[in-house]
Structure 1
Amino acid sequence: MDANAASPAAVTATVPNPLLSTASLPDFAAIEPGHIQPAISELLNQARQALAEVTDPQAPADYESLSRVLNVATERLGTAWGAVGHLNAVANTPALREAYNAVLPAVTEFYTGLGSNEALYAKYKAIAGSADLTPERRQLLKHAIRDFVLSGAELSGEAKERFAKIQERSAELAQAFSEHVMDATDGWSLFATAQEMQGVPPDVQANARAAAEKDGREGFKLTLHFPVYMPVMQYAEDRSLRERLYRAYVTRASELADKPEFDNSPLMQELLALRQEEARLLGFNNFAEASLVPKMASSPAQVMDFLRDLAARAKPYAQRDLDELKDFAKAALQMPTLQAWDLAYVSEKLKEARYAFSDQEVRQYLTLPRVLEGLFRILDRLFGVQLVPAKASVWHESVQFCELRRDGQLIGQVYLDLFARNGKRPGAWMDEVRSRWNRPDLQSAGAEQIPVAHLVCNFPQGADGKPALLTHDDVITLFHECGHGLHHLLTQVKELGVSGISGVEWDAVELPSQFMENFCWEWEVVQQLSGHVDTGASLPRELFDKMLAAKNFQAGLQTLRQIEFALFDMRLHAEPGSENRIQSLLEEVRAEVSVNPPPEFNRFQHSFSHIFAGGYAAGYYSYKWAEVLSADCWSAFEEEGVFNPETGRRYLDEILSMGSVRDAMDNFKAFRGREPKIDALLRHQGMA
């Protein structure tokens, strides 16, 4: 560092703190670790003062007054803390992580106290008794009162103190779990030779060679980031290379990895024990029961019955899938035994042999710019909205910012962060920056706060000066996250708490995302998404027909895999004491539902961030639960026309725009005219 340069502390003292700005969007590029503690401390103080003001015995039991004071203060805090949390997930550095973790306990303590504040709870109950409430406010108050109970508002004394300590410690453990997965992923690499890289797609090789050169090394640098890991597993002819990568990937953040400091074993144990203790304090038999209170499913038993029924239907198809793989490996590849690190490779070879195409062939037609352009066109046609590139402060040069417009009017904004890199959490997700809200503190004509979203993926970068190439699965992932984004951005509800995805039952929140995936299988849509990387030619109909024929390739195995994760999650949280037998419980689940259990050293659970760090605890089943809803919704489009404007408008009006003003089942019935059926899901997956 230059001796004459100002220290970070001096910088934050002389430059306005971007986290305290009242601008409509965070100034991501300007946020530094030194800004976090002073800004969050100030916003916490403001929020505490607001809480004291509205809970004063003299304060009116009036929602408008309460919202103008408390909701405005907590929204400012939430927006700033959300920006910090987002940077921690997508632009992680040691300094940022340290600053984030230093403030995390105070933020957790505030929100725990807010959710269990007896005086505030009493105010909400008094307001809920008013006769002149709008349907939106009646619903948000119903949700709020339920959430007060689940947040310990009816506890007292030692129980309340213990509940608060559990929340604080759980937040620390979830954050540490996430950090371990990120560090274990970022911290592992392997340098391969040209011989070992035979079969791997050229663009993956080019990026791996460039990564090695950057480190001053010969050969190809391989990492555990998915855009590197998956193509190697699918295409590398060198079996020992695939085995080394597989072992490293499935033992990440476990006791079997080469860096014991990232072992998530003790974190999982403690987190599970704390969740069961929290449930007992609230009067539940187990954490799963508490988790299901705000969801559609009524009990852990109902969820497990649903999963086991689906497993029984899928198992014969999965067994057939596995037998075909084994037979093909023996006959065509001279592989008498099939190991876990062979599955992706043999599956790709079988798909090529059976359907005469490969994922690599399809990728040449799916460039990221063309896919985005096609996606934007579809949204315009279906919902009458336009995504227009715009300028905003971003955290990385590859991030794109867009405005969502309808008839020229700005209705939302979205950040697209689509490429994998070090310091970025694996996976794909949508997150809120802000929700639609008629802000009570702004009495001007512009009082409405428009929704803003983050849409995050981990795609490969382009290579050799060409744009990024996506697999068809990547395109499906993009459409999935876009569905979440639309749910957040297209809401017409303007009350915080029931706007967009806020308050939507967790096992229904995947409906709009899974619904959007279906467009990726429509010829008319794929034509718009595709353009060959070299010639610009659209994907040939003959190739699309082969893709369609292969759509349900190994659907049985894939369904059982998801059921395995979901049943493991539900049993883990429904059976007190499970923290002492995590591995053996997972093995029991695999023995029950899997037709091809992974090797004993597989430690999938150690990087299962969905349930240990991502809000899906006792909720992973929601992917399958919501798939029933989304498949049934899509069948309406199949019946009435994929681009039928009336069907699109009905879906927009009854599901996307309703927020959580109505229960999810009521939204579904308003759109479909009846309760959901499983038939469409089984038919779509070739298991009817």
Structure 2
Amino acid sequence: MTNPLLDFTGLPRFDTVQPEHVAPAIRQLIAENRSLIETLTRSETPATWTDFMAPMTDAGERLSRAWGIVGHLHSVNDVPAWREAYNGMLPEISGFYADLGQNLALFAKLKALAASPEYDALAPVRRRIVDNDLRDFRLSGAELDEAQKPRFKEIQEELSALSVKFSENLLDATNAHAEWVDDAAGLAGLPEDVKEAARAAAEKEGKPGWKFSLQAPAYIPVMQYAEDRNLRARIYRAYTTRAAEFGPAEWNNTPLIEQILALRAEESRLLGYANFAEVSLVPKMAESPAQVAAFLRDLAQKARPFAERDMAELRQFAREQLGLDTLESWDLAWASEKLKQARYAFSDEEVKQYFPEPKVLAGLFRVIESLFGVTLAPDTAPVWHPDVRFFRILRDGQLVGQCYLDLYARETKRGGAWMDGAIDRRRLAAGIQTPVTYLNCNFPAPVNGKAATFSHDDVITLFHECGHGLHHLLTQVEELPVSGINGVEWDAVELPSQFMENFCWEWDVLQGMTAHAASGEPLPRALYDKMIAAKNFQSGMQMLRQIEFSLFDLLLHSEFTPGGDASFMDLLAQVRREVAVVVPPEWNRFPQSFSHIFAGGYGAGYFSYKWAEVLSADAFEAFEEAAKTTGSVLDAATGRHFWQEILAVGGSRPALESFKAFRGREPRPDALLRHNGMTP
């Protein structure tokens, strides 16, 4: 076993895996899969679960686990060698999966199983797997004419490569730019830890002054706190024009967007759909692009009066208190922070001092342990960076799963926050294979030996990603294709993550997970009350912003014509005229960094955040109802019910059935509107 990517006996071997292991391991696994497929599609192989489905699952898992490690390292350690190794194999892996999805012999065998007496005798979870596979074969072009299949495969391979290139361009463009401040006076307003980090960044390059990158831990505080309007304007322009025509041509994502949209439209036509949005919705809860558009526009109508009030108040405050007759885009976060401080007498920076990392993690673990009857403990495993930590989850002394935690921003790590599965739960001959997950964030790292402190928004992000992790780790399903988040409709997959965010606003939770970085005192009740009063500060503007992104994505993939007279920037301007109360400068190039839809899985699916937020707010309302009796939202009985009906079942049944099993009824938007302060 000289190649660590071929070792499936335990955890990934991050201590020994190297870029040179990628090509031989992936090629061997692809060859093994192709050989198995040849055997399984022979007429003498029975179309049964044991003879056909089980071997396919086993072989597919080996390949997906190995490639998953490679993809993970490409995301968290994007150095040239790993980028080259990943991109070198991407065409081959994409080609294999494209061939797999179009293999008529496999499709015929699957249809034979679905039509056999055995299908009716299968457990419901296995019937769902067969049904999902039939659907996915059709979406992968299995029913296309033979003359069309080569082109369909080319499209899949091209889209994979373009998606990766989009992400790499964004990372490279982000890392290439820095704003330098030479005079301490230019740092006015910035928090001390932000200044320390900027000074350390400059020292690392052997230069005087302060260096601010475009990564979130530097960019966001500058926009929110810097008194120097010119600094804010410069860094805003650099950030919002990343990977566009204003920089090096090799990092320009504009032509990539046009190619991606054209290829998705062509793929949809080949499959017999009017547009890519229709294709995207086939495996989702939502039924049609029209239904989603109506959902988004209805929410926008409800949010608009609140958003217009938010914006009017901000403009009046900026004019009367800050001397800004014109509020530019680079003033919004700064002026909003000033208004929030004036109105509620506290700042995000003040709150941040109460959230040192050790207390935050302890508080997060307490919530999980209280709700779901598990315990979390430090564990050991090979990791890809010294900052990464590893934990195990136990129930009644038995291992449930394990989790890698990679919290800090790095230049070699893609932006944002995300969860990925490393190993899926399933039953093997030797017993249960326990799940393992990666949780990745981009928070500020510790500076000068002091514990990192997180903003309340950072804490919410951590709880969000942990919700995804719990969905993966606490599943009780023993069939890999629908265990954990596998097989869950994309517009329901955010339910557990957004559900977990709610606990970040509960006094019962916060008082136990805070300690001032200097004094060690817990969060004062008076400051908490101010946070709650400010919870829905500008919530109307925030909701319209998310609806703007969602509607743009939906229309881009349903009504927009790639290569037509109008550009995608024209469409974005049209969407903003319809729903936005904040319109950025004409040169803002937001789409060129919209990696969710061009380099992630959210193409024609960004609406899923709002769709699932209706579900998550309604689900959390059950805990609010329990608290009226028990005195705490950390109610173990309700938590166990949520675990049993939502987390434990994974993708083994439709998400709507799981929701109704938990709430006893259809979802309602009332709780979402109430949580956002949008009720009369």
* TM category, shorter: over 0.9
Report the counterpart of residue 125 of structure 2 in structure 1: 136
* Counterpart mapping for 1:341-356 below 5 A: 341-356=330-345
Listed as ranges, the matches of 1:283-322 within 5 Å are: 283-322=272-311
> Does residue 487 in structure 1 map to residue 475 in structure 2?
no
Given residue 393 of structure 2, which amino acid in structure 1 is its aligned partner? L
Q: Which residue of 2 aligns with 1:648?
A: 639
Q: Which one of 152, 166, 170 corresponds to residue 181 of structure 1?
A: 170
In the TM superposition, what are the counterparts of 1:520-669 in structure 2 within 5 Å? 520-578=504-562, 580=564, 581-641=567-627, 642-669=633-660
Aligned residue number for residue 56 of structure 1: 42
Distance 1:655 1:499 in 2: 12
Aligned partner of 1:5 in structure 2 is: none
Match of 1:676 among 648, 667, 680: 667
User: Are 2:370 and 1:381 equivalent residues in the alignment?
Assistant: yes
**Deviation of the 1:661 alpha carbon:** 1.4
Instruction: Supply the AA of the counterpart residue of 1:464.
Output: N
1:20 aligns with 2:6: yes
Structure 1 unaligned residues grouped into runs of 5+? 1-14
Query: In structure 1, what is the Cα distance between the partners aligned to 2:563 and 2:596?
Result: 17
Q: Which whole-Å deviations, capped at 9, do the CAs of 1:102-143 have from their partners, x for residues lacking one?
A: 100110011111122111111112222323201110111111
Separation (CA, whole Å) in 2 of partners of 1:205 and 1:471: 16
| 1:268 and 1:579 in contact (8 A); partners too | no
CA contact (8 A) 1:504 1:663 kept: yes
CA deviation after TM superposition for structure 1 residue 645, in Å:
2.0
Partner amino acid, structure 1, of 2:546: Q
Match of 1:242 among 211, 232, 248: 232
Residue 260 of structure 1: how far off its partner (Å): 2.5
Gaps of 5+ in 2: 628-632
Contact kept? 1:286, 1:576, Cα under 8 Å: no
Indicate the residue corresponding to 1:154 in structure 2: 143
Contact residue 255 and residue 265 of structure 1 kept, 8 A: yes
CA contact (8 A) 1:637 1:647 kept: yes
Alignment-mate amino acid for residue 436 of structure 2 = V
Structure-1-length-normalised TM-score: 0.96
Q: Distance in 1 between matches of 2:423 and 2:268?
A: 30
Using the alignment, how far apart are the partners of 1:64 and 1:652 within structure 2? 30
State the partner residue of 1:210: 200
Q: In structure 1, what residue type is equivalent to 2:370?
A: R
Q: CA deviation at 1:576?
A: 4.6
- For 1:3, the equivalent position in structure 2 comes to none
Structure 1 equivalent of residue 445 of structure 2: 461
The residue correspondences of 1:131-530 to structure 2 (distance < 5 A) are 131-193=120-182, 194-256=184-246, 258-439=247-428, 443-444=429-430, 447-530=431-514
Q: SS in structure 1 opposite 2:511?
A: helix
- Give 1:377 shift: 1.2
Deviation at 1:643, TM superposition (A): 2.1
Show CA shifts across 1:123-179 (max 9, x none): 112222323201110111111111110111111222111111100000000000010
2-structure distance, mates of 1:521, 1:560 = 22
CA distance in structure 2 between the aligned counterparts of 1:134 and 1:116, rounded to whole angstroms: 27
CA RMSD in angstroms, aligned pairs only = 1.0
Residue 119 of structure 1 corresponds to: 105
Q: Which residue of 1 aligns with 2:630?
A: none
Out of 80, 93, 117, the residue aligned to residue 94 of structure 1 is: 80
Counterpart Cα distance in 2 of 1:515 and 1:576? 33
Measured in 1, the distance between the counterparts of 2:677 and 2:366 equals 30
Runs of 4+ in 1 over 6 A off after TM superposition: none
Shift of 1:578: 3.9
Deviation at 1:240, TM superposition (A): 0.1
Determine the C-alpha separation between the residues in 2 that align with 1:536 and 1:51.
61
By how many angstroms is 1:23 displaced? Answer: 2.5
Contact 1:383 1:648 in 2 (8 A): yes
Q: How much does 1:565 deviate?
A: 0.2
Shift of 1:70: 2.1
Q: Is the 8 A contact 1:201 1:360 kept in 2?
A: yes
Could you say if the C-alpha distance between residues 579 and 225 of structure 1 is closer, same or farther in structure 2, counting changes exceeding 3 Å? farther
Partner Cα distance (1:201, 1:657) in 2: 43
**Distance of 1:611 and 1:561 partners within structure 2:** 16
Distance of 1:184 and 1:454 partners within structure 2: 26
Secondary structure of 2:678's counterpart equals coil
The answer as to whether partners of 2:373 and 2:636 remain within 8 angstroms in 1 is no
Shift of residue 67, structure 1, vs aligned partner:
3.9
Residue 634 of structure 1 aligns to a residue in which SS? Answer: helix
Aligned residues of 1:499 and 1:660 also touching (Cα < 8 A): yes
Q: Are residues 336 and 684 of structure 1, via their aligned partners in 2, closer, same or farther at CA, if it must alter by over 3 Å?
A: same
Say whether the 8 Å CA contact 2:483–2:649 is kept in structure 1.
Answer: yes
Q: How many equivalent residue pairs?
A: 668
Q: What is the CA–CA distance in structure 2 between the aligned matches of 1:560 and 1:107, rounded to whole Å?
A: 39
CA drift of 1:579 comes to: 5.2
Residues 26-69 of structure 1: CA deviation (Å, up to 9, x unaligned): 11122211111111111111111111111111111111222442
The whole-number CA distance in structure 2 between the counterparts of 1:273 and 1:140 is 31
**Residues 372-404 of structure 1: per-residue CA shift (max 9 Å, x gap):** 011111111110111211110100000001111
Q: Is the 8 A contact 1:276 1:576 kept in 2?
A: no
Deviates more, 1:244-253 or 1:640-649: 640-649
The AA in structure 2 aligned to 1:409 is Q
Q: Matched residues in 2 for 1:576 and 1:479: separation? A: 36
Q: CA deviation at 1:525?
A: 0.1
Aligned-partner SS, 1:529: coil
